[in-house]
Amino acid sequence: MKRKIYQEMLEWKKRSNGRTALMLDGARRVGKSYIAEEFARNEYAKYLLIDFSRT
């Protein structure tokens, strides 16, 4: 599944160079968790996903 935000996330990764965190904010059930996990899986060797909706 392709999302417009993915390209913006790639640009953030290049700009931040590992110095800042990324927070995805938006309406419920629009794919934020999905795109975050896809991005991490594709762009990093290891990642930590913190999902505050699951306690």
Q: Encode pLDDT of 45-54 as tens digits.
A: 999 878 787 7
Distance CA 36, CA 48 (A): 10
Percent of the chain clearing pLDDT 90 (strictly above): 69
Region 28-51: mean pLDDT is: 91
Residue 52 belongs to a domain = no
Residue 53: inside a domain, yes or no?
A: no
Note the pLDDT of residue 50: 80
Cβ atoms < 10 Å from Cβ of 36: 19
pTM for this model (two decimals): 0.79
For residue 21, being part of any structural domain is answered with yes
Residue 40 near residue 13, CB atoms below 8 Å? no
Please give the pLDDT value at position 45. 96
Q: Is residue 48 part of a domain?
A: no
- Count of C-beta atoms within a 10 Å radius of residue 25: 5
Q: Is residue 18 part of a domain?
A: yes
- Full domain range(s) for residue 12: 4-43
- Number of compact structural domains in the chain: 1
As a whole number of angstroms, the distance between CA 35 and CA 33 comes to 6
Residue 35 phi, psi (nearest 5): -70, -35
